[in-house]
A = this chain, B = another copy of it.
C-alpha cells in the first residue's frame, strides 16, 4: 500500500464540504482533547476527528503522571515550597540546550492553573508524596520526583522539588485522565467523529488551510474549518520509514511507546501545507531497570565492564547513555541483597559467586570489571562516587554474593521510545513555515510538534502530557479566536 499523498487538496479542486465547524481538531489525545475543550469554551463550534473507535491517544495508555509545579495544592499539602522560578530553572535544564525560554516560562507560570484545570474536569489527585524511586506510583498516591531533580549535576543547578503528579487511581492512570477529558469535550458541546482518519489538509491558493479531507470508515468526507484546523495527531514512533529517514538512532529501540496512530501523518500533512518539521532526530528512550529502587545501588557497566552513568539518574538519561556512551550494550550488576525482578523482566546475563567469575561469564576483557567493582566498592564505603556522583543514599559496596548481571542491552531488554520532533509551532500553536511565518489557519500541539522538551537525556516523566495538554489548550483558544476564513 502506498501512503496517501500528504500534499494538501486545493480548495478549487473540491466540489463541496460534507461537514463543517469553526475549529476542526484532528486527534483526541491529551493535546487534541485540551484544544477541543478550550476552543468550545471560547465560543467556537468544534468538531473532533478521531481515527480510533475511542479517543485517548498515547496518554490513555500511559501512567497519567503529569508534570506540574510552582506550588500546586498537592505540593503544598506535602510540604514542598516549589516556586515558579525554581520550576523554570529545572524545566530549562530538562528542555535541553535548544530550550525556548518563552515556552518554558509560559508553561511554568501557568502550571498551578493548569493543574486546577484538570481538577475542575474532575481528575482527582491525592495529597500524598512517594519518596521511593519509581517510574510511577502503582498505588493511588500522587507526588514524586519524576526526573533528574535530585541527581547530579541537576541538583546543583536547580532546587529539587517533586513535580510528577499521578491522578488518584491505582496502576496506570492515563485512561482515567483521558476519560475526564473525553467527558468534558462532550459537556462543552464539541462534536466527536470517531473512526475518522484525516488524510489531507484542504488549502486555498493563498495558502490558508480551510479544512481536512478524511476517511470515515470507508467514506471520504470533506470537513470545512471556518477558523482553523488543530493537528494533534501524535508523534511518529510507529512509522519505521520516518524513523529511518529522520531519527535513525531511535531504531535501536524495540518498544515503540504510543498508539499505532503515532505514524507521523499529521506531521506530514503539516509539512505538505507549508509547515516545517524540526528536531526530528530526537526522542525519549526508556529502559526501566528499576523499580525495585534497590537496583539504584547496583553498578551499571558497558560491555567492557566499565561504568558510564550515575545509576540513580532518571531512566531517560541512563537509557540515552546506554545508547550513546555504551553503544547499546550494558549490564546492571547487583548482589544478592539488592536483586529484585523488574517490571520489564530483565534477563539475567550471568550469576556468579565472585567478580572474577562474573567478568569471565560476561566475556569481558580480563580485569576491567573487577577493577570497576573494586574501585566502586572502595569509594562507596565512604559514600563517594568520584566518577559519576551518584547520591550517597544509593552508595553501598556490593559484597553479598552471588552477583548478578541484569541485561540492559538494546537487543536483549525492553527499550521504550517515543519521538520528540515534529512541526515547528509558535507558543500560540500556530504552525510555522521554514521562514518562521505562520501557516494561516493551521495549529498544532502535542507530540506532532517540537514542543517544550527537545531531547531525551534530560527529560522528566510527565512533561509530554503536560506539554500536550497545556499548549493544546492555547492552540484551541487561538484557533477559536482566529478570524473566519471566508
Contacts and interface: CB of A to CB of B under 8 A. Distances in A.
Given A6-B434, A375-B367, A434-B6, A245 B325 contact: no
Given A324-B325, A365-B386, A435-B3, A280 B280 contact: yes
A436 to B, nearest CB: 8
A61 B152 CA distance: 44
Interface in A358-373: 365-368, 371
A375 to B, nearest CB: 7
A371 B247 CA distance: 37
Interface string A279-315: 1111000000000000000000000101000000000
Contact of A454 (B248, B276, B387): B248
Contacts of A6: 434-435
B247 A281 contact: yes
Contact of A281 (B281, B368, B371): B281
A246 B278 contact: yes
- Looking at chain A's contact residues, is the secondary structure mostly helix, strand, loop, or mixed? loop
Given A368-B387, A387-B365, A387-B368, A282 B248 contact: yes
Most B-side CB within 10 Å, residue of A244, A434, A436: A434
A157 interface: no
Interface in A228-255: 244-249
Interface of A: 2-3, 5-7, 97-98, 244-249, 268, 271, 274, 276, 278-282, 304, 306, 324-325, 327, 365-368, 371, 375, 386-387, 424, 433-436, 454-455
Closest 6 CB pairs of A and B: A281-B281, A245-B278, A365-B386, A324-B324, A325-B325, A3-B435
Given A281-B281, A325-B325, A367-B375, 15 more contacts: A2-B436, A5-B433, A5-B435, A7-B274, A97-B248, A245-B276, A246-B278, A246-B281, A248-B279, A248-B282, A248-B454, A271-B434, A280-B281, A368-B375, A368-B387
14 contacts: A3-B434, A5-B433, A6-B435, A98-B244, A245-B276, A246-B279, A246-B280, A248-B281, A249-B281, A304-B387, A324-B324, A365-B386, A367-B375, A368-B375
